[in-house]
Amino acid sequence: MSREAHVQFCEGLAGKYRRSTLLIVTAESRELLGNNIIPAIKDFLKPRGLKLSEEKTKIVRIEQGFDFLGQNLKKYRNRLIITPSKENTKSFLEKVKTVIKKCYGRKTTDLINQLNPMILGWANYQRYVQSAKAFSHANKIIFQALWRWTKRRHPEKSCGWRKKKYFNHPKRKWGFCCIIKEKSGNKKLLELIKPTYIKLVRYIKIKGEANPFNPKYADYFKMRRTYSNVVPIS
């Protein structure tokens, strides 16, 4: 494993380390972080053969914002805003466009079957933050790449012909799809999933006064351990 990480902790010397561990450390001031907390973290890591990556470890104000695990955290008007990071979105879309370019000579079914897991994975990961704008942007970029794909396959055909052949979903406007034949002989519609098809979800903010050791809040914490702790957004 790499012996460098942003911050790594373990409970004992016999613990198994992951290749890299990312951690956010907050404090009231830059001085407190630089003079007290970071030296304490270094002292904790040193006997375990680990150290902070000086290159990757940064101290920033929350109002300035920072990227963490593919998301951007920023405080705006005393409110924490978490969105998909620009770098993460860009990387995802570059992968999508690469797959589309590699499928110029492939069937539509092959293209959809390769793209759907990628789109689902990214959208499901980002659905818990404020990702509506990022999803709409991804829709636009993916559509443009698909339109170029159809144009390259059929350079002599008109826009109307390409739309009718590839973007002819019976219920969704401009839905990219095709008809496939199952082993049973039945025909089935195979459609490309758009990021905006994935419903956004918000977790219910925890009550500040709630105490998990107080029997008074037993039902409350039982609720928080279930799916009722989240609110789907249409």
Residues 123 and 190 occupy one common structural domain: yes
Report the DSSP pairing between strands 4-5 and 71-76.
unpaired
Does residue 211 share a domain with residue 226? yes
Global pTM?
0.79
* Average predicted confidence (pLDDT) for the chain: 86
Q: What pLDDT score was predicted for residue 232?
A: 63
Beta partners for residue 230, in sequence order: 203
For residue range 70-89, list pLDDT tens digits in order.
999 999 888 889 999 999 99
Question: Count of domains in the chain?
Answer: 3
Are 186 and 209 part of one and the same domain? no
Same domain membership, residue 141 and residue 110: yes
- Looking at 60, 84, 108, which one is the last position of a domain? 84
Place of tokens 């052949």: 165
- At 95 the pLDDT is 97
Reference 203, options 230, 169, 166, 176; nearest CA is 230
Residues of the domain holding 76: 4-84
Residues 113 and 68 in one domain: no
The pLDDT of residue 108 is 94
pLDDT score of 10: 41
Residues 227 and 160 in one domain: no
Given a cut of 70, the residues of the chain with pLDDT beneath it are 1-20, 227-234
pLDDT reported for residue 7:
42
Which of 96, 92, 76 has the alpha carbon at shortest distance from 84? 92
Co-location of 110 and 156 in the same domain: yes
**Residues 217 and 186: beta-carbon distance below 8 Å:** no
